[in-house]
A and B are shown apart, each in its own frame.
Chain A
Amino acid sequence: MFSTFANPHRFMSLTRPLLPILTVVAAVMLAAGWIWAIGFVPDEKYQGPTVQIMYVHVPAAMVSLAAYSTMAISSLLYLILKHSLADVAAKSAAPIAAALSFICLVTGSLWGRPTWGTYWIWDARLTSMLFQLFLILGYMALRSAFQREQEAARAGAILCLVGAVNLPIIKFSVEWWNTLHQPAGFISLTGDSSLTAEFFWPLMFNLIGMMVLFGAFLIATMRSEVYKRQYEAKLARLNRSTS
C-alpha cells in the first residue's frame, strides 16, 4: 500500500555524503569536457567548427532519454511495490528530463541554422525528442492537477508507462516518415558519421559528465521531495492531534 509512513532514512543517510561529491565531480567533468570540446577538437571536414555543438547536444539527448527511462522504471516499481520512494524518484526525474530535452532541442536547432540554413529541420531524432518533451510536460501537468499526492503519483505512473510504451512507436513512425519526406544525402546530427578517436573520446567524457550531473540533480530533487513530504506528514499529524 502507499506507505506514506515508509521512512526513507536509509536513502537520506546514504545520499547525504553522495550529493556534494557528485556535484563537484559533475561540475569538474563538464567544465573540462566543454573546454576539451571547444578548444581542442579539429574542424570536421563537412561542417567545420559547428560539429562541436555535438558535445552538448548528444549527451543531452542520451541523458534525457536515460532520465525518462528512470521515470518509467520507478513508475513501474511504484505501481508494483507501492513504495513512496519510487514515486519520489519518478517525480524528481521529470523536471531534469524536461530541462535536458529542452537543451537538446535548443542545441539541435542552433546546429541546424549554420548547417541547413533554418532553425528547425524535421530531423527524425529531433522530432522524437520534441514529443518526448511533450510527454514529460504532460506528466508534470497531470501530477500538479491532483491535490492528493497519492492520486498524483498513481496517475503520473500510469501516464509515464503509457508514454514509455509509445515512445519507441513514435520514434519508429517518425523515422519512417523521415525517409519519405527528407531529401537524400542529409547529414544527420550524429551517429552515422563514424567518429574517429579525437572526436569520440571528448564525446564519451562529456556523456559521463552529463550522467553524473543528472545523478546529482536527481538526488538533490529527491531529497527536497522527501523533506517536503515529511513536512506535510508532520503537519497533518500536528493538525490531527490539536484538532
Chain B
Amino acid sequence: MTGEVTGGNFFVLASFIASGVTMAALAAWTATRLAQAKKKLNMLNQTENPKD
C-alpha cells in the first residue's frame, strides 16, 4: 500500500490543484455575489424605511 503521496506523478497533482482552484474560484464568486446581493437589498430597505 503506498502510504505517501506518489509525488513522482506531476499530472495527478496538477489535476487536483486545477480542480481545487476552479472550485475555490467558484466558491469565491458565489460568496461575493451572495454578500453583495444581500447588502444591496438591505441598503434599499434602509433607505426606504430607515426604522426597521
Contact = CB atoms under 8 A, between A and B. Distances in A.
Judged by CB atoms under 8 Å, the answer to whether A and B touch is: yes
Interface of A: 30, 34, 38-40, 42-43, 48-50, 52-53, 56-57, 60, 95-96, 99, 102-103, 106-107, 110-111, 113-114, 213, 217, 220-221, 223-225, 227-228, 230-231, 234-235, 238
Contacts of A110: 11, 14-15, 18
A235 B14 CA distance: 46
Contacts, number: 104
Interface of B: 1-6, 8-9, 11-12, 14-16, 18-19, 22-23, 25-27, 29-31, 33-34, 36-38, 40-41, 44-45, 48
B27 A49 contact: no
Contact of B19 (A56, A95, A114, A235): A56
A231 B6 contact: no
B37 to A, nearest CB: 4
A41 to B, nearest CB: 8
Interface SS majority for chain B: helix
6 contacts: A30-B23, A34-B16, A111-B11, A224-B38, A228-B37, A235-B44
A96 B26 contact: yes
Interface SS majority for chain A: helix
Contact of A60 (B19, B30, B38, B40): B19
A38 B12 contact: yes
B46 to A, nearest CB: 12
Given A103-B22, A111-B15, A231-B44, 10 more contacts: A39-B5, A48-B6, A52-B12, A57-B15, A102-B22, A103-B23, A110-B11, A110-B18, A213-B23, A217-B27
